[in-house]
Amino acid sequence: GTSAGAAPPISFNEALQYFQTADLSECRKKVRATVRRRGLAALVRFLFGPPRLQPQLQGERELALAMAQCGLDDNERVHMRILQTIYKKLTRSGLGCPRYGAHWEELGFQGADPGTDLRGTGMLGLMQMLYFVMDSRTLPLAQEIFKLSQHETQAPAITLILLQNFPFCIMSVNITRIVIQALREECLSRECNRRQQVIAVLNDLYAAAFLQLYRVWKWQHKTLADSGFLLKELELSTRKKPKQLLKSLEAYVNRSPAADGFQQPSPPSASGGGEEINFTGVCDLQIELEGEARLI
């Protein structure tokens, strides 16, 4: 495969400016911006649901959803720089890497081509990873989570220690899918309206959700077998308590005493409403992603 390793790292803002000016018309055609409700559900949503996103923010939401429909393109230099920057930051390497190869599996993609794991999140999935590793506030967290994802033990075979490793990038893509769904269900409109931002809110919520998952995974000694359930819990928290998650992230990056605790996952709700994301665990994500193209 070709190597774009010599390409300089790209900041999140530079990458975002590229998408703001790129022709995403084909991607925009695929976007279904909000979850449609009918009958009683529509009435309940109107009377008791969250506020609608303000008109001046609609364009930014549409851009985010269009990015999620945009596939990884080998011919787009910015796409390749995003991929290389993520690789370098997570591996703490100054060297680039080939476009295809087993090294992507080490980062937690399913195979030699990261592009095949982005269905359902598209370039937004990579952009959120880029934000995670390029923001100085969240880079230490990203590297800590990546370290945990690589967990191996040298313990003797007789010692029963559960391996806590998981595919970092696949988990990240799952979290982006959860965040996209929360946006589409207008669960984030209040926060977006308050901050007069959409993509920044999505990025912070992504980091906050990853932080929550990391804490539960690490301190409750979770393994891949628990991933489906934990992602389902995270989906509920993201939809129902986005503000709480964001406050937890803020406490973490500011290193306040609250950063040492973590929010307990909320119990599953039978009346959750909205469109369900069926998680069966990250091991089965390839099948999962193919079936979830409808999410966006």
Q: Cα separation of 213 and 128, whole Å?
A: 16
Asked, for residue 107, whether it belongs to a domain, the answer is: yes
pLDDT digit string, tens, across residues 174-207: 999 999 999 988 899 999 999 999 999 999 999 9
Which tokens in the block code for residue 206?
């992504």
Q: Classify residue 265: in a domain, yes or no.
A: yes
Report the greatest alpha carbon distance in the chain: 62
Q: Specify the DSSP class assigned to residue 269.
A: -
The answer to the question of residue 272 being in a domain is yes
Note whether residue 55 is domain-resident. Answer: yes
Q: How far is the CA of 49 from the CAs of 10, 46, 186, 274, in angstroms?
A: 39, 6, 9, 11
Q: How confident is the model at residue 225 (pLDDT cuts 50, 70, 90)?
A: confident
What is the mean predicted confidence (pLDDT) over 142-159?
A: 68
The larger pLDDT score, comparing residue 284 to residue 112, is at: 112
Q: Output the average pLDDT for the chain.
A: 78
Does residue 4 belong to any structural domain of this protein?
A: no
**Rounded mean pLDDT of 247-270?**
61
| CB neighbours of residue 267 within 10 Å | 8
pLDDT-derived band at 50, boundaries 50, 70, 90:
low
User: Is 3 part of any domain?
Assistant: no
Q: Which residue has the higher pLDDT, 6 or 62?
A: 62
Domain count, the chain: 1
pLDDT at site 292: 36
Model-level pTM? 0.79
Q: Which domain holds residue 37?
A: 12-295
Q: 66 in a domain, yes or no? A: yes
What lies within 8 Å, CB to CB, of 133 at 6+ separation is: 85, 86, 89, 90, 139, 142, 143
Return the number of other C-beta atoms located less than 10 Å from residue 68's C-beta.
Answer: 28
Among 262, 217, 227, residue whose Cα is nearest residue 241: 262
Give the pLDDT of residue 176.
Answer: 95
Q: How far apart are CA 10 and CA 78, in angstroms?
A: 8
What are 239's two structure tokens? 């939809």
Q: Is residue 2 part of a domain?
A: no
Percentage of the chain exceeding pLDDT 90: 37
- Identify the band that residue 46 occupies on the pLDDT scale cut at 50, 70 and 90: low
Q: Which region among 83-97, 141-155, 218-232, 266-280 has the lowest average model confidence (pLDDT)? A: 266-280
Helix (H) or strand (E) holding 167: none
